[in-house]
Structure 1
Amino acid sequence: MTPVRPVDAASILLLDRSGGTIRVLVGKRSSRHVFMPDVYVFPGGRRDAGDRLVSIAGPLNPLALERMAVRVPRCSGSRLRALAVAALRELYEEAGLSVGVPCAEAQEGELPFRPDLSHLRFLARAITPTGMVRRFDTRFFTLFADEAGIDPSGASASHELEDVRWVDIFDHEGIEMPDITVLILEELQKSIQEDKSLPFGRPAPLYRNKGGHFLRDLL
């Protein structure tokens, strides 16, 4: 059997800090999904070819872009930018939230806004182990809702993510999540405890498997 190669993907941890706690947006994947059905995850999905061509309203922070480029062979700025675009596109498609400048002239199938990437922090990267039916090389971004001008009450469910809800990042008891989602959430907890502002250039972990061993490296 030909090994399944991981494809680029992006996920976003949208954070609401308007109350006494910090909450993150999650949703339940449909039972129709082949990959990780019936569990709660952050909005996200694979990078589309068209994400490279999307006009943006604001670029990635240079420190975030520099960190994303670590250990990426044949890295190009357009590829890294496309990953950030994918994260915001998926947030819109799966939870109905747009981050950017409205675009009145959008054609059918295009985003109705120009994504603003400037407030995205690069939190982590994870590569799905071999042997899975789907494999992804996923970049996880964080974004504060208030910085992006997002009203947390505007999040809505979709055919991709059901039961969209805000969850306390330090208390997600009773919410069934994949192991990698829990690990990324733990990374967020540690980062918030170190610095609540989540600096753009902080080291980011890379989760991967090599020779059957689970590894965590820093980028």
Structure 2
Amino acid sequence: MRILNHDMQRFLTYTNFEIDIDNEKEDILKKCINRAYRDLSRRIPYKYSLSMIKNMKKEDAKIFNNKKEEFKNSVYELFKENINSITEPIELIELIKQKADEQDIWTNEKGFTYGLSQKWVNMTLKYLLMFDECPISKEKLDVPVDSYIIKVANASEEKNKLGLDLNYCKSVKWSTWNDITEYTIFQDKIRKKTEEKNYETKIDWEYHAWLEQAKENK
């Protein structure tokens, strides 16, 4: 396959991230946070759906949409304030979960879960890594957990060459995880198994695992 020239790379990164690689003032962090948000937005249990908001009184809809934007902006501020001082993703995951718990925009008691928080954080960091802008070392990054990753991680090597045979959290949706222990155990199991299989980092395994599962589900 032919390597993209600079103009094509610029087009590709802008259409996917709205990042212009020729603009030195580009806020890459914010764009990566926004792109990661799109990856989980359908799973977020907002109190009102888009169709419900459309049928609201204009002022009520404006108030609710403003609250959503305020939460998203607060996540950006948490990233900006802490990303250069933390050493592991779980620190940001906890901060965002705490901020989410202060909001009144969720439809159920669980609200914005640890599962959603880890997805937002880990995808943002993965995208930053792609742009060589991630201040956390690759070895410290966690795998963004979703249904594809859970499926491959639990598959046996006989059925899937990338399978880790974890036998963990098979029947629990990642977006409903609301115990940080579930998350840390899963990440630790992946780390140990990928080390046994001589992957340099968990992320190196994740790139292949997610892509192959996405192709299979196509």
**Alignment TM-score > 0.5, same fold:** no
Q: What TM-score do the two structures reach when normalised by structure 2?
A: 0.27
Q: What TM-score do the two structures reach when normalised by structure 1?
A: 0.27
Greater share of strand = 1
Which gives a bigger RCO, structure 1 or 2 (Cα 8 Å, sep 6+)?
1
Greater share of helix = 2
